[in-house]
Amino acid sequence: MPRFAVNLSMLFTELPYLDRFSAAADAGFEAVEVLFPYEIAAKETQRALLANGLELLLINAPPPNYTGGRPGYAAMPEMEERFQRDIRRVMRYADVLRPKMIHIMAGYCEGPEARACFIRNLQFAADQAPDQKFTIEPLNRADQPGYFLADYPLAVEVLSEVDRANVGLQYDAYHAQMIHGDAADVWGKFGSHAVHVQFGAAPGRCEPGTGPVDFQQLFAAMDDSGYKGWVSAEYTPSTPRTEDSLGWLRDQ
């Protein structure tokens, strides 16, 4: 059975941010994700993690563009200087929070210049912090119109060109299903590149139990493939209380 974690930016949101850590621990989780922790002092998040015996698996980078832009700009050539400046800010948070992974978001652009910029910025981040693991994740364009990294073959090509041991693939069953129409097939083809896994049901991005993905089979396939990393719930609960959406966990 996989080791399950929970994304506190999407689950337990009925609670104040710092209260979500104890709720996750009470529900039996030992590890969590926080997508953008930058509005809260790193020490506060650190205290919540330590108080509840939780490991922080993942944060996103770069920080949000508070001037109104959408999140992510690592593949946007006009933002390259800003990315390289902002990744240093991310690493200051990482020095305190010690996330296992940092997901670098590509942003909204296209073309060969964007691809080259994304590769340069990934190499820059990897070389600046060789002991930190980074991920890239394809996002579906139905939810994220114009997102550069929008399919798994492109992600694997980028990883090959980046050629850094501390940069790997982040597989998300929801996005895989939305992009390619078969999350299990995507895992079979690309799961060997995955260093981190997330999931939610498609197309509603809620808890498992709706949609075409057989999560019991998918989780079994992950086990059978030898994947040893965490598998994190990243969905919007269909229930007012997150706890009531965790039937999939109790069924394991």
Contact 94, 129 (CB under 8 A): yes
Contact 175, 139 (CB under 8 A): yes
Q: Which residues contact 189 (CB under 8 A, 6 or more apart)?
A: 152
Q: DSSP state, 72?
A: -
Determine which one of 30, 137, 157, 243 is catalytic.
Answer: 137
Q: How far apart are CA 119 and CA 113, in angstroms?
A: 10
Residue with tokens 């501390």: 166
Bridge partner list, 180: none
Determine which one of 33, 80, 207, 234 is catalytic.
Answer: 234
Cα 205 vs. chain centroid, distance in angstroms?
Answer: 14
Query: What 3-state DSSP class applies to 188?
Result: helix
137 is an active site residue: yes
How many CB atoms are located within 10 Å of the residue 71 CB?
16
113 is an active site residue: no
Contact 224, 192 (CB under 8 A): no
Catalytic residue IDs: 137, 234
